[in-house]
Amino acid sequence: MMMIKKTIFKTLFALMLCPYGLMAQEQKQLLTFEDAWQLMTEQNPALLRVKEEIKQKEYELKVKRGLHLPQVSLSAQAVSMSDPLHLDLTPVRDAITPLYNTLGNYGVFSGVPNPDPATNSMMPVLPDDMSTSAVREKLLHAGGEVQNAEWDKMIQEKNFANVSAAFVWPVFTGGKIKGANDAANVQIEMSHENLRQTEGALLTELVSRYYGLALGVQVSELRKQTLEGMQNHYADAQKLFDNGMIAKVELLHATVSRNEAKRELKKAERNIEIIRSGLAATLASDSLNQVIPASLLFINKELSDLSYYVDRAQTENPQLKQLEGKKELVEIKHKVEMQEYLPSVAMMGNYNIANKDLSPYMPDWLVGVGMKWTLFDGMARKNRIRASATLHSQVNYAEQKAHNDLKAYLTKLYQQLQMQMEQKTELESTLRLAEEYLRSTEKAFSEGFATSTSVVDAYTKVAQVKTLRLKVFYEYDVALASFLQTAGIPEEFARFCYGENTLTDSY
């Protein structure tokens, strides 16, 4: 990873470091690209949001892990019913009482064992009259007890309350809990890749705005130099006109050109403020009103082969990795759908902690094992399995297209980078010729052999070529950031900014 330098917010007071016409005493802030990158990483709300999303996924994983553990709950209830619950068995009493009375008065019995230990050895069985008397006496006594017993039982009072504890512990769920945990792990990995993707996109945005500000500052300096040249040309034209060496139209042309240069300088200075506000938004900082980019626009002499970056992208690109995560989620879903044919088994229990007027017939505690096995659900499971299989095919096709598009986009960006390097060399040759032409034209004008239009055109051409050269540097830097982001290695951008393979353009 990039090593971040700690050189942020240096101040300067010299006018030479204020190229866009601000006061020399006004305090400035130097900001390197590394410092800007660190600020963005720490403060950009888009990154902070994705980091919070990762925390969310981690907590959701803990929720899924908790599904393996029993769920223990405490419940309390107070109930009032319209009527109490009772069980009236008087019809049973009325049905059996006549039987006791009839047998107790008219029944004839024999074979009753002799209960007297002193005589039962000699007479083990009572005579029939004694047997009948003994049995009738017991029947009449039992009949009285049946008659006097409570045959209308109270089952539950009208008002009652209770507090109880319960637990449910899934023992076997057909792989549903495991699938939920596996999916949660995959989602965490995908959220980390989403963070990398966001970091890469913000890096490209930062490069565009940071080096855009550097470009704006240098363009402003070019406009300032052009204005100075136009002012000098106007002064020369004024002298030549005063000496009668040129016509008034030439002086007017020099005046118009000087005014146009002033307008272009003001436009460039306004553009700096617009770009600076965009950079402040990317860095999520309101204290960068007068920031000056300390890192220079750069371009590299050469790049590694395209195949190297394509290979890196196949393994490092965060969007491809997120597609791989989606593929894993589809596979997990398919496995879970297949296991829907299996039963679910859970242990359960309940303990009555306290109660008021609760039915005495209710047990104090209970434990048990329950099973649910769906045997037929209208072919829903079978069709869900088929749907998940088609989803798997969709992800495969999306992954194939993403690989193809990724290679094509990398090729496009790589060719753009090569084109910028070529244009830089060609523009430098053109710039040397334009500067030589400007010197020749100025000399010719001072001698009366060239018009003001020729001088202005020469100045304009030099400024145009210099501006194009700066834009080549800028477009290269932005394309490089996008290229490395697509390759999945945006953190390597820093090593392209410095070194023997790097050319910078100072202002």
Average pLDDT rounded to a whole number, residues 260-280: 93
Query: For a pLDDT cut of 70, what percent of the chain falls above it?
Result: 94
Do 377 and 252 have their domain in common?
yes
pLDDT digits (tens, 9 = 90+) for 167-218: 999 999 888 899 999 999 999 999 999 999 999 999 999 999 999 999 999 9
Is residue 203 helix, strand or coil? Answer: helix
Residues 6+ apart with CB under 8 A from 101: 140, 143
Instruction: Judge contact between 461 and 434, C-beta under 8 A.
Output: yes
Q: Is residue 156 part of a domain?
A: no
Do 124 and 228 have their domain in common?
no
Q: Is residue 338 part of a domain?
A: yes
Q: DSSP letter string over 257-289?
A: HHHHHHHHHHHHHHHHHHHHHHHHHHHT-S--T
Q: Which residue type does 152 have? A: D
Q: Report the number of distinct structural domains present in the chain.
A: 2
Give the integer Cα–Cα distance in Å for 113 and 134.
10
pLDDT surpassing 50 at residue 22: no
Q: Is residue 3 part of a domain?
A: no
Length of the chain: 507
Do 416 and 314 have their domain in common?
yes
Of the candidates 104, 108, 173, the one whose C-alpha atom is nearest the C-alpha of residue 145 is 104
Do 427 and 470 have their domain in common?
yes
Do 100 and 246 have their domain in common?
no
Do 138 and 247 have their domain in common?
no
pTM over 0.85: no
pLDDT digits (tens, 9 = 90+) for 54-81: 999 999 999 999 999 999 999 999 999 9
Cβ-based burial of 176 (10 A; exposed 0-12, middle 13-18, buried ≥19): middle
Range of the domain at 136: 90-150
Do 435 and 495 have their domain in common?
yes
Tokens of 26: 């006004």
Q: Which residue type does 32 have? A: T
- Helix then strand then coil, in percent of the chain rounded to 5, is 65, 15, 20
Q: Is residue 165 part of a domain?
A: no
- Residue 506's pLDDT band, with cuts at 50, 70 and 90, is low
Do 487 and 342 have their domain in common?
yes
Do 250 and 112 have their domain in common?
no
Type and span of the H or E element at 441: helix 380-446
pLDDT digits (tens, 9 = 90+) for 302-342: 999 999 999 999 999 999 999 999 999 999 988 888 888 88
115-119, 135-139, 275-279, 460-464: the lowest-pLDDT one: 115-119
Do 107 and 246 have their domain in common?
no
Do 199 and 293 have their domain in common?
yes
Residues 6+ apart with CB under 8 A from 432: none
pLDDT digits (tens, 9 = 90+) for 379-423: 888 888 888 889 888 999 999 999 999 999 999 999 999 999 999
User: What's 363's domain CATH number?
Assistant: 1.20.1600.10
Give the integer Cα–Cα distance in Å for 395 and 403.
12
Q: Is residue 395 part of a domain?
A: yes
Q: Is residue 34 part of a domain?
A: yes
